[in-house]
Structure 1
Amino acid sequence: MRDILIAGALALAACSPAAEEAENLAPSCDARAASAWAVSDAQYSVEAASAGPDCARAVATFVVRDASGAPIYAEAYLAQHVMVLADVSDTAAMETALRTWTDPANSTTMATTSALPDWPARANGPENGEFPFYADESVDRDTYLGLRQADVPLLCFVQGMESLACLALRNGQLEKVGVQTFPG
């Protein structure tokens, strides 16, 4: 009888709101990855992390840090809205996907701002044919052309289902230049 009472008490404790709440708070898609981004003599860290009750409902962060560890860029995304993170089903697969996401070698389409498409006079934005590039709303034509002329390092990464976000490194800081789309 005593064993039955103990088993019953344990079963009730497991069903208590506190136990259920603690179980719901523990993320089951907690993953991390980092890659190095070497630019001239400087070393940067490109990091990503995910957290959520499962990978389908995870939030992923993308962070770039300078050599001292200070963040110079950070953004959060719904993992299900980022091509390389969508459809990931478990933590081990998420770690692999985050490693792919943070690796600058996976974004070799444009290494510097001089490779950005031209923005002709009187055009509404840069022209790039089948792979349009949309300048960030904070970047006007003069700023954009100045970035192309400066030929500074460019870090592009998948930021959606069919697009790359491109960041220019100037004076130790990253600034978003715009988004390049690609056929999905």
Structure 2
Amino acid sequence: MRIIVFGLAAIALSACGQPAQQPQAGACTRTATHEVAWSQDGAADVITAASAGPSCKQAVVTWTLRNAQGDALWVHAGTFYDMTAGGAPPADAPAVTNEQMDTFLAGWADVTLTRSSELPEWREGAASLSESVQGMSYDTPFDRETYEAMRARNLPQLCFAAAVEASHCLIMDPVSHSPTVIVMFGP
């Protein structure tokens, strides 16, 4: 009899699920989208910048690039504070309003489209791309020969903010047909 009672109790308890979580008062769940023609001719990619957190001051922000079929091509994540001021917020950091978050997300989703031929030249004999450029600091995952070949191909390039003072530029890799960072730059 005890086995039956314990069995029924176990079944009853297993039927109890967690209640669906309702958004907390003050929660920061916001989005902004922007369409760009980048990865495929004649098809619009969609960039979604989104925030999620118990407050906008504490929000995690994500930047997602999806192709016309809805497949995620690239994702970048950080915190609102790190993306706007750098680092972790101090204890006395001011609150972030929904309007401030909306402005940030709309600006982050609105990317720059250019061509790889517009990137700076990596001069022969220079040890790095940064050594070839005055002013900004540039870095690339490619060696000089590959970088210059990608520049010469004049590929569509999409640049987005990756930190408070840094940007990443993506190209569609001609071999793998997937996005890759061609250059990162900042002061």
TM-score band by shorter chain is 0.7 to 0.9
Local SS of the residue matching 2:146: helix
Aligned match of 1:146: 149
String of CA shifts for 1:102-147, please: whole Å, max 9, x gaps. 112xx36xx01101111122322222211221113xx222221121
Counterpart amino acid of 2:100?
A
Structure 1 CA distance for aligned equivalents of residues 173 and 71 of structure 2? 16
1:42 Cα deviation from its structure 2 partner: 2.6
Shifted more, 163-172 versus 69-78: the winner is 163-172
Question: Of residues 130, 138, 152 in structure 2, which corresponds to 1:133?
Answer: 138
Counterpart amino acid of 2:102?
E
Local SS of the residue matching 1:55: coil
Aligned match of 1:68: 69
Residue 111 (structure 2) pairs with residue 112 (structure 1): no
Counterpart amino acid of 1:169?
M
Shifted more, 121-130 versus 45-54: the winner is 121-130
RMSD: 2.8
Question: Of residues 101, 112, 127 in structure 1, which corresponds to 2:108?
Answer: 101
Structure 2 CA distance for aligned equivalents of residues 25 and 174 of structure 1? 36
Aligned match of 1:33: 32
Gap change, CA 1:25 and 1:143, over 3 Å in 2: farther
1:48 Cα deviation from its structure 2 partner: 1.1
Task: Structure 2: state its 5+ residue gaps.
Answer: 1-20
Shifted more, 83-92 versus 52-61: the winner is 83-92
Structure 2 CA distance for aligned equivalents of residues 146 and 84 of structure 1? 36
Shifted more, 29-38 versus 50-59: the winner is 50-59
Counterpart amino acid of 1:131?
M
1:24 Cα deviation from its structure 2 partner: 9.5
Structure 2 CA distance for aligned equivalents of residues 141 and 135 of structure 1? 9
Structure 2 CA distance for aligned equivalents of residues 88 and 131 of structure 1? 32
Structure 2 CA distance for aligned equivalents of residues 177 and 25 of structure 1? 40
Counterpart amino acid of 2:45?
Y
1:92 Cα deviation from its structure 2 partner: 3.0
Q: TM-score normalized by structure 1?
A: 0.73
Gap change, CA 1:145 and 1:33, over 3 Å in 2: same
Task: Structure 1: state its 5+ residue gaps.
Answer: 1-21
| Pairing of 1:71-82 with structure 2 (within 5 A) | 71-82=72-83
Gap change, CA 1:181 and 1:35, over 3 Å in 2: same
Q: Contact (CA 8 Å) 1:83, 1:158: kept in 2 or not?
A: no
Residue 61 (structure 2) pairs with residue 54 (structure 1): no
Local SS of the residue matching 1:75: strand
